Structure 1
Amino acid sequence: MNTHRTTRTGNVLYIVDSKRPSAGCIMTEMREYWQGLRQNESIPLRADVTADAISKVLDYAFLVERLAPEMARFRLVGQHLIDLMGMELRGMPLCSVINQASRKRMCKVTETVFRAPQIVEMKLRSRSAQGCPVISGSMLLLPLKSDLDDVTRALGCLVSEGPIGIGPRRFDLAETKFTPVIRGGQILYPSPVPEPGKP
């Protein structure tokens, strides 16, 4: 049985795995796993996250650590992100998967995950270029506590839709959705990004 479909863009032929779960299914499974780790609506510990428990979506998963305000880096990275960027991302900033124009906004959005803490979902879009068709993506960030009981870790996933083409594929931040970790809680919105040329 053929489990692949082909997509042609210009003179490049891409092969796309049709058995891959949809972005919605991957994000739902990740969110339900995180929710299952909670006790009395607490934030789960990073130490409680295991690869075996998310084996079906592991390729799309990642873990990040907050190093300073508005600065987070990858600690562990799934294969899908490596394929998108064409390189190993461990130790690199989370915003390295984002185009320059959206990076400040991305850093401020990510900071709310740790400060509130809260859940953030993002819609992403990567522009077309030679050998690179337009692709969309979805990212989910879920707060975690470190062994010191502070919220400085996050479990996430990033799923792109469409053939990757030639990496690295970086994204613009198109939409954001914030969800409090406690039902009825307040949302912490990111601070505004100054316009270019203004303080």
Structure 2
Amino acid sequence: MQESVSQALYSYWNDLRGDRIAPKRFEIEPSCISGHLPDTFILERIAPATLRFRLAGTRICEAFGIDFRGVNLFQLFGDADARIVQQQIALSASDGAVCVFRIMAGSASGLSTEFELLILPMIHTRDTIDRFLGAFVPSNKPNWLGTVALTQRKLISHEIVYPDGLPLAVDPERHVPTLMPTIREARIVRSDRRQFRVYEGGLSRVDNE
């Protein structure tokens, strides 16, 4: 992620998350990110194909010339781009991944500028990721931004970031992350509120050859 707003929001989210797959929705304190609120939003995942804006900052709405509340994020893009965004969001919901998109947005008159779209997973009332905190930030701020509607949106690039370097999944009984399978065989050992990855090594095996 390149934009300072995205970096600050990610840092705040990651601090709240700790060793969990994602922070709880109610843990987000608007006062802690007050300087970035005009560029931030909250999404609700209704279904795999429906990711609805619950809140959207004023600068986002002004930049695109629409009221984002209630809008399905996927409908902002053409079919091919929407499928990619949907696939990335599915990874975020299942593995706690962070999504970073670069988007070109343009007006009917030919004006255009790039945006960085950051999406951070959150857990609401259930034991699944169904809320997302995010930011929609222009890479530069041309003097016409906010005066024309940006009705054309094209996905330029997309990236998945795993904060812990590996995919995670929710353990619904303990509400803590469980490491997904990796190339090496590993087993999870839990003690109180801690958990450890134990890799089988040479000393733990009997060599029969």
User: Which TM-score band (shorter chain)?
Assistant: 0.7 to 0.9
What is the aligned-residue RMSD (CA, Å)?
Answer: 2.1
Residues 118/40 of structure 1: CA separation in 2 closer, same or farther (3 Å cut): same
2:25 is equivalent to residue 26 of structure 1 = no
The percent identity for this pair of structures is 22
Deviation at 1:47, TM superposition (A): 0.8
Tell me which residue corresponds to 1:149: 127
Deviation at 1:100, TM superposition (A): 5.1
Deviation at 1:73, TM superposition (A): 0.5
Q: How many residues align?
A: 164
Please state whether the residue corresponding to 1:108 is helix, strand or coil. Answer: helix
Tell which structure's C-alpha radius of gyration is larger.
2
Deviation at 1:52, TM superposition (A): 1.1
Residues 133/162 of structure 1: CA separation in 2 closer, same or farther (3 Å cut): farther
2:143 is equivalent to residue 172 of structure 1 = no
Deviation at 1:153, TM superposition (A): 0.7
Please state whether the residue corresponding to 1:162 is helix, strand or coil. Answer: coil
Deviation at 1:99, TM superposition (A): 4.3
Tell me which residue corresponds to 1:38: 17
Contact 2:61 2:68 in 1 (8 A): yes
Deviation at 1:95, TM superposition (A): 2.3
2:56 is equivalent to residue 77 of structure 1 = yes
Give 1 or 2: higher strand fraction: 2
Contact 1:101 1:172 in 2 (8 A): no
1:86-101 correspondence runs (5 A)? 86-99=65-78, 101=80
Q: 2:35 aligns with which of 56, 76, 95?
A: 56
Structure 2 unaligned spans of 5+: 169-179, 181-209
Distance in 1, Cα, partners of 2:23 & 2:101:
21
